């Protein structure tokens, strides 16, 4: 038997094994190549997604920086609008001349100072939230014509010119109702001041022109046209966000935190020349003077509070607190993501 006949017999006997083996080997090669191709596609897709996420993150951070700088630039104009709407300087100058109606002027100043503090807080929160939403909606400035962008952002200037004076009138009216029954000589603790501000907030919340519930009306004074175009679509998107429960809840949260910030700054001055409570109430063994255990006549708190409001320090601290607020940052990111 020749070698070729032996090989032929061997292949004949193991024919099925060779067929199955060939199929397995071929399938393994094809499967390996397919797996390599899929892995390559997955890696390319992951790389693209990573680069896209990185691009979006850098873009959003750029928008956030631009927004923060815009807010800081507008703070001075907002502060001026507040001081113009609720001017305490005229009454203070008049009081320096010791007029006959001194008590009346002090009572008017009392309402003006508390209304001014509320106006600074509400208007600053509303301005910051609005600008965060606006610049997140615009997204890439190159995608919106400059003239349209300026017209869109001019609604914040409209808020300063029209919304702030309207808000000031409502604030002053509600504050007067709360403050008028309180005598200037009444001894006030910090907790009493907090209770007053809480009463004012509660009164504003039940007002028909409640700035939180009617947020969009303070920003958009004119009716948004029904015509469909890029500009009107942007306005409607902004108005929808301002009307959303998420934004209203966030605005209330920021307002509450702002009043806490104001209380903290008032507390720094509260122990100066204040009268302590009786020893039975405080711990005489301790040298620490708890500001919550100090009383001051309301008449002395008015110039302290007005001094805080007359300097840019409190508005600046408030703005810094707001632009670094995590919840506002999340809102801005959500708006940005939703409109991509």
**What secondary structure does DSSP assign to 124-186, as a single string?**
HHHHHHHHHHHHHHH-SGGGS-HHHHHHHHHHHHHIIIIIHHHHHHHHHHHHHHHHTTS-TT-
pLDDT at 253: 96
Domain count, the chain: 1
pLDDT at 198: 94
User: Which residue from 307, 324, 322 is spatially nearest to 270, judged by alpha carbons?
Assistant: 307
* Residue 39 located in a structural domain: no
Q: Which residues pair with 275 in a beta bridge?
A: 295
| Cα 16–chain centre separation | 75
As to burial, measured by CB atoms within 10 angstroms (0-12 exposed, 13-18 middle, 19+ buried), residue 20 is exposed
* Residue 89 located in a structural domain: yes
Q: How far are the Cα atoms of 50, 60, 136, 329, 337 from residue 55, in angstroms, in the given order?
A: 8, 8, 15, 18, 13
Handedness of CA 291, 114, 96, 81 (dihedral sign): positive
Q: Which residues pair with 297 in a beta bridge?
A: 187
Strand 187-188: give its sheet, edge to edge: 187-188, 294-297, 275-276
From first to last of its 340 residues, the chain has per-residue pLDDT tens of 566 566 566 556 666 665 666 677 777 777 887 888 878 777 777 777 766 666 666 766 778 888 889 898 898 899 999 999 999 988 988 888 888 888 899 999 999 999 999 999 999 999 999 999 998 888 755 567 778 888 888 889 999 999 999 999 999 999 999 998 899 999 988 889 999 999 999 999 999 999 999 999 999 987 787 788 888 888 999 999 999 999 999 999 999 999 999 988 888 877 665 455 455 444 544 555 666 678 888 988 898 888 888 777 788 899 999 999 999 999 988 888 877 6
Which residue has tokens 């503090």?
117
* Residue 35 located in a structural domain: no
Tokens found for residue 315: 């508005």
* Residue 101 located in a structural domain: yes
pLDDT at 285: 45
Q: CA-CA-CA-CA torsion for 227, 233, 238, 244, nearest 10 degrees?
A: 80
* Residue 333 located in a structural domain: yes
* Residue 134 located in a structural domain: yes
b/e per residue, 226-257, with b = 16+ CB within 10 A? eeeeebeebbebbbebbeeeebbebbeebbeb
* Residue 66 located in a structural domain: no
* Residue 129 located in a structural domain: yes
Q: Which residues pair with 188 in a beta bridge?
A: 296
- 119: domain range? 72-338
Does residue 70 contact residue 135 with C-beta atoms inside 8 Å? yes
Based on its alpha-carbon atoms, the radius of gyration of the chain, rounded to whole angstroms, reads 33
């Amino acid at each position: 038997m020749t070698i070729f006949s032996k090989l032929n017999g061997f292949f004949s006997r193991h024919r099925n094994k060779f067929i199955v083996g060939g199929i397995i080997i071929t399938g393994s090669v094809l499967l390996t190549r397919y797996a390599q191709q899929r892995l390559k596609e997955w890696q390319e897709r992951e790389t693209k997604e990573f680069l896209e996420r990185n691009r979006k993150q850098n873009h959003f951070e750029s928008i956030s920086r631009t927004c923060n700088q815009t807010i800081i630039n507008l703070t001075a104009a907002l502060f001026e609008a507040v001081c113009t709407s609720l001017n305490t300087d005229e009454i203070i100058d008049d009081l320096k001349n010791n007029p006959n109606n001194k008590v009346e002027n002090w009572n008017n100043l009392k309402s003006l100072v508390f209304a001014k503090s509320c106006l600074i807080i509400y208007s600053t929160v509303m301005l910051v939230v609005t600008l965060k939403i606006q610049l997140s909606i615009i997204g890439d400035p190159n995608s919106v014509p400059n003239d349209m962008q300026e017209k869109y952002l001019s609604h914040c200037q409209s808020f300063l010119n029209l919304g702030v004076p309207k808000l000031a009138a409502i604030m002053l009216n509600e504050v007067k109702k709360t403050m008028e029954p309180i005598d200037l000589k009444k001894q006030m603790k910090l907790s009493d001041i907090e209770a007053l501000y809480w009463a004012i907030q509660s009164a504003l919340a039940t007002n028909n022109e409640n700035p939180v519930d009617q947020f969009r009306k303070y920003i958009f004074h004119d009716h948004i046209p029904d015509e469909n175009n890029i500009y009107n679509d942007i306005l409607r998107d902004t108005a929808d966000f301002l009307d959303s429960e998420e934004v209203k809840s966030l605005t209330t949260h920021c307002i509450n935190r702002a009043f806490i910030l104001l209380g903290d700054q008032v507390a720094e001055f509260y122990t100066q020349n204040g009268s302590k409570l009786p020893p039975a109430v405080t711990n005489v063994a301790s040298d620490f003077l708890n500001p919550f255990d100090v009383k001051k006549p309301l008449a002395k708190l008015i110039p302290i509070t007005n001094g805080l409001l007359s300097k840019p320090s409190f508005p600046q601290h408030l703005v810094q607190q707001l632009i670094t607020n995590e919840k506002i940052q999340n809102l801005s990111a959500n708006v940005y993501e939703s409109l991509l």
